[in-house]
Amino acid sequence: MQSKFASRITNASRSFTRTILDLTAQNTIISFAGGLPDASLFPRAAIEKHAKHLFETQDNRLFQYSNATGVEALKCEIAKKYHETQSTNILLTNGSQQGLDLVCKAFLDESDCIIVEDPSYLAALGLFHMYNVDIKAAPLTKDGVDTIVLESLFKTYAPKFFYTIPIFQNPTGYSYTLETRKEVVRLAQKYHVILLEDSPYEALRYDGTQTTSFADLLPQWTIALGTFSKTLAPDFRIGWIKAPQNVLSALTLCKESTDLQNSKFFQYICAMMMQSGELQVHTKTLIDCYRSKRDAMVQALKKYFNDSIEFIVPEGGMFIWINFKACEDSMKLFDSAIKKNVAFVPGSVFFADKRVTSYGRLNYTNSSLEQIDQGIKALYEAYKEFI
């Protein structure tokens, strides 16, 4: 049967993330590889309380089919995150990953051009490849995308959209400065390019002050994606798209043809946790815990590696992007690290051209403080071979 596969499947490379997740499912390995939240912090008691309340107060229509855009109470809560936004600007999706897919379904024809940051989120790159589009990459700096390159790509290729993760980016943890944002806004307006703003980590800010989103700076040209995967639980699979209403109608059509709707049960729980303020309080707990994990990783990196590596301390999110400058190909470091029972993601998988690189991504949210120290020590043991 495999000979009948569509080219989007035959051309797809096996997901490296899946390989790593399989490998690190072994308990003996300390994994800084996945982008997982700390499962011990999922707000189980609150979820249970609201689930019980639903059973006590709702009849069986709770489990009936309903409309594709999602539960009104939750859309209203999400709309409050943006300036001048109504619930009619919000479409609930099965995680922001589905949001990405729906945007591709609504906007991309084969051979269209899109722009991504270099490096970028691995599962988005994989998705874009499945739509057989021409992917051009603009380098990401610690202050955001290189706007000179971006402008020349906008001018030359007239792309449909620019896919950007402007806050605590995956994989780098970098955030755009306001100056970079404003320049991107100017370019999007000038060249009529959609900004596809993916912002799953913005609520996890440990230092610094909140910045204005593209969704608020340029609402008419921005499609914004959000998710509760990082603040509530990934298994709820609740994400959203915020877009102008005419765009939202097209996306809703796409959602209907994909899966009709999200489960209302989890949407109600999420809405109640927002309305009561529990989710906001829970997010503060996450921030305190993850900040100490980030600090522990930064401390361990300095302690063991000294100045043999380079990195920027992220102000939030889940990742530290390391330049293992003594090792030109971090894939080789990965092989050595696995032998020392520690895993990270080699940087090459995040680049559009999969180039050989000395960079690697480390996640700190899913390990204990002890594991962080132990794992970084083991990683240094592996790195010593290259110095």
**Footprint on this chain of ligand PLP (rule: CB under 6 A):** 35, 95-97, 121, 165, 170, 198, 200, 227, 229, 234, 239
| Least distance from ligand PLP to the Cβ atom of residue 166, Å | 11
CA 179 to CA 143: how far, in whole Å?
A: 9
Beta strand pairing call for 30-31 and 222-227: unpaired
- The amino acid present at 23, given as its one-letter code, is L
The Cβ-side half-sphere exposure at 72, using a 13 Å CA radius, reads 1
E strands, the chain, are 30-31, 90-93, 113-118, 134-141, 144-145, 161-164, 194-198, 222-227, 239-242, 310-311, 319-323, 342-343, 345-346, 359-363
| Least distance from ligand PLP to the Cβ atom of residue 98, Å | 7
Assigned token pair, 245: 């209403």
Nearer to ligand PLP, 159 or 239 (CB): 239
| Least distance from ligand PLP to the Cβ atom of residue 150, Å | 19
Residue 168 and residue 201 in contact, taking contact as beta carbons nearer than 8 Å: yes
| Least distance from ligand PLP to the Cβ atom of residue 81, Å | 15
Nearer to ligand PLP, 102 or 382 (CB): 102
| Least distance from ligand PLP to the Cβ atom of residue 135, Å | 16
Q: How many angstroms separate the Cα of 52 from the Cα of each of 39, 47, 55, 114, 262?
A: 22, 9, 5, 45, 20
| Least distance from ligand PLP to the Cβ atom of residue 199, Å | 8
Nearer to ligand PLP, 176 or 304 (CB): 176
Nearer to ligand PLP, 96 or 261 (CB): 96
Nearer to ligand PLP, 95 or 173 (CB): 95
User: CA dihedral defined by 195, 196, 202, 207, rounded to 10 degrees?
Assistant: -40
CA 140 to CA 145: how far, in whole Å?
A: 4
Residue with structure tokens 């998988």?
349
Q: Nearest-5° angle of CA 99, CA 6, CA 158? A: 55
Nearer to ligand PLP, 315 or 373 (CB): 315
Name the packing angle between helices 369-384 and 278-305 (round to 10°): 30
| Least distance from ligand PLP to the Cβ atom of residue 136, Å | 19
CA 137 to CA 118: how far, in whole Å?
A: 5
Q: Which of 359, 317, 323 is nearest to 36 (CA)?
A: 317
| Least distance from ligand PLP to the Cβ atom of residue 319, Å | 9
Nearer to ligand PLP, 71 or 300 (CB): 71
Q: Nearest-5° angle of CA 286, CA 94, CA 7? A: 120
Nearer to ligand PLP, 230 or 304 (CB): 230
| Least distance from ligand PLP to the Cβ atom of residue 212, Å | 19
| Least distance from ligand PLP to the Cβ atom of residue 366, Å | 12
Point out the residue whose Cβ comes nearest to ligand PLP: 95
Nearer to ligand PLP, 19 or 152 (CB): 19
Q: Which of 269, 208, 169, 234 is nearest to 39 (CA)?
A: 234
Contacts of 42 (CB under 8 A, 6+ apart): 232, 233
CA 27 to CA 372: how far, in whole Å?
A: 15
Nearer to ligand PLP, 108 or 124 (CB): 124
